[in-house]
Amino acid sequence: MAANTLWLNETLPEITHTPYETALAEADAAVWFPKRICLDRLDGAGEAYTVSETADSCIISGNDAGLLYGVYAVLTAWRAGRPIPVGHHAPAYALRMLNCWDNMDGSIERGYAGRSLWFDHDRVEYDPERIRCVASSLASVGINTVCINNVNVHESALSLIDGQLDEVAKLAALFRAYHIRLLLSVNFAHPYIAGLESADPLDPAVREWWAKRADLVYAKIPDLAGFLVKADSEGRPGPYTYGRSHADGANMLAEALEGHGGVLIWRCFVYNCRQDWRDRGTDRPMAAYEHYHPLDGQFADNVILQVKNGPFDFQVREPISPLLLSMPKTNLALEVQLAQEYTGQQIDIYSMPGMFRETWDTMGSERIMAAAAVSNLGNDRNYTGHPFASLNLYAFGCFAWDPASDPETVTRDWIHLTYPALIPGDADRLLELLMRSREVYEKYTTPMGLGWMITPNTHYGPSPEGYEYQAWGTYHRADRNAVGIDRTRKGTGYTAQYPEKLQDLFENPDTCPENLLLFFHRLRYDAVMRDGRTLIQRLYDDHFEGAEAVAKMAEVLQCLPFPQEDAQVIRERIQAQIRNAQEWRDVINTYFHRLSGVDDARGRRIYD
């Protein structure tokens, strides 16, 4: 962020200095800036910085990248009323990536904040001012890599490494000023589409095609981070077409990038999306591990496997993906989704800092060497649809730099930066609301790891059996007695994919975290929870409480003095969230009431 304006919500002045000089000049112009900042520019590689202070000065030292991050860190701390972050700071991961699912026609797959900021009419098209605003905001939280195009690479996007390459290079230059490198999604079948007889990774002609293509691309964009690939997934082409392994496919592309210092990022979102719902021998969460665990150690050094945080697909709550814990000889990137595809679509409030904390706590940061987030950006005035959704982007940057980040501090900092006019009591109320928002959404939608009761295709609103007879492998198999899939060793055996400690934890309904009970276990409606309630009563209670909590959130928001433009969006969206929460509450409660025949113990209204 530029520290004296709203985060992600500004028009920056023309840049005449380095970005950190600009940020300092702006901060300098503001009254609140208490100490003189001295910059000590060092040579050398890396992104680290050191902060020290004297009575009237704060000294930041580092190379250009380090100074950039150091200046933003110091300004943020001051703005948030925290002490100057004295000491040496280096990022946990070299790659802190945003993955944008932008299409060349200007649409964004699962985008909820307007249209693409850099594509339209099947070509690269943008407003440089808005790119600078986004780039400075990303840089201010340490994001240093942006994949600009959808992982589903449609034909028109092939031009990004072909006819549109010069335009991509110009865009790359805009981001480069903020120490951000571009990454490009490529289509595994590109050589075949371009006229070769196959896209077989072991075909020398294919290898040569990719090598030459990489040479062309790096001649224009020498600091490109590399390529991102979604292969053999949901209809995308891949090595399986040619009877090759994913190691064959990834290594072939990695070889083309190696001489240029590029990495090949390979998404591990592979599963059977044509499952027969009758088939109980296939359990979709097991798919990624089954595909990739046997390949551990076979990937080249500049290959990174990018793994979603959970084994399904960005549901409201999932256990950690076992693949993240079982590839000791492979470079891994964690992938999270900021775009609220299944979590309210930037209409409903759903803050992610707590989820990031849980994720990193469970996986142990030492196994991961990069972090990627599916972007929630678009060309809406406020960039993220709901003004609060920018917190998730901000927080992702914080955690990707420092996985030990504290959710409350991150959220509080974002509030100070974004709504500096809020008095402390109001900031506290907003903090509490945001911190609780994920649990609230979870309660009125699919609590306890239930998942997949959302409307197919649109992924907004309830549809309790919408996925039940579909080919996506996402079933809860609720009947008149029970709900959920037994994923223990006695069931599908999914728990066996975890290290022993987690295995034991999840295996037993008595030790399994209650918020994941229905992910791992099939339970009868009369099963007794740890607090003595039955499962069915817990389901009813959660839905009533969740909807009620949204109504209370609306009351809180009504009283907080947001800037006018934000206020209107916030007011409209909380009303939509109230309706959505009521719909979820009533549909899910009615669904389980019709199945179980059990009335609410507290006599609240359940429609029949």
Q: Give the chain's length.
A: 608
Task: Decide if 4 contacts 29 (C-beta within 8 A).
Answer: yes
x-or-dash string of contact with a second copy, 250-289, rule CB under 8 A = ---------------------------xx-----------
How distant, in Å, are the alpha carbons of 453, 502, 568, 577 from that of 460?
Answer: 10, 32, 22, 11
Of the candidates 120, 341, 486, 541, the residue annotated as catalytic is: 341
Q: Least distance in Å: CB of 457 to a second copy?
A: 9
The site that binds a second copy (CB under 8 A) totals a number of residues, namely 24
Does 313 qualify as catalytic in the annotation? yes
Task: Decide if 316 contacts 445 (C-beta within 8 A).
Answer: yes
Does 504 qualify as catalytic in the annotation? no
Nearer to a second copy, 269 or 475 (CB): 475
Q: Which stretch binds a second copy (CB under 8 A): 325-333, 473-481, 503-511, 532-540?
A: 473-481
Positive or negative: CA dihedral 336, 338, 340, 344? positive
SS (H, E, C) 542-572: HHHHHHHHHHHHHHHHHHCCCCHHHHHHHHH
Candidate list 127, 166, 479, 572; residue touching a second copy; CB under 8 A = 479
Candidate list 463, 495, 537, 577; residue touching a second copy; CB under 8 A = 463
Q: Least distance in Å: CB of 439 to a second copy?
A: 24
Candidate list 201, 319, 403, 464; residue touching a second copy; CB under 8 A = 464
Q: Among 172, 163, 175, 157, which residue's Cα sits nearest to residue 119?
A: 157
Q: Which stretch binds a second copy (CB under 8 A): 126-134, 184-192, 366-374, 584-592?
A: 584-592
Residue 579 as a binder of a second copy (CB under 8 A): the answer is no
- The packing angle between helices 128-140 and 64-79, to 10°, is 80
Encoded tokens for 116? 């693409």
Task: Decide if 410 contacts 353 (C-beta within 8 A).
Answer: yes
Of the candidates 234, 279, 406, 428, the residue annotated as catalytic is: 234
Nearer to a second copy, 51 or 588 (CB): 588
Task: Decide if 168 contacts 220 (C-beta within 8 A).
Answer: yes
Q: Which stretch binds a second copy (CB under 8 A): 62-70, 74-82, 379-387, 590-598?
A: 590-598
Does 500 qualify as catalytic in the annotation? no
Task: Decide if 371 contacts 400 (C-beta within 8 A).
Answer: yes
Encoded tokens for 399? 């955690």
Q: Least distance in Å: CB of 598 to a second copy?
A: 10
Task: Decide if 143 contacts 397 (C-beta within 8 A).
Answer: yes
Cα Dmax for the chain: 72
Nearer to a second copy, 378 or 464 (CB): 464
Q: Which stretch binds a second copy (CB under 8 A): 152-160, 267-275, 536-544, 587-595?
A: 587-595
Candidate list 290, 296, 586, 600; residue touching a second copy; CB under 8 A = 586
Known catalytic residues are: 234, 313, 341
Contacts with a second copy by CB under 8 A lie at: 277-278, 462-466, 469, 477-481, 586-587, 590-591, 593-597, 607-608
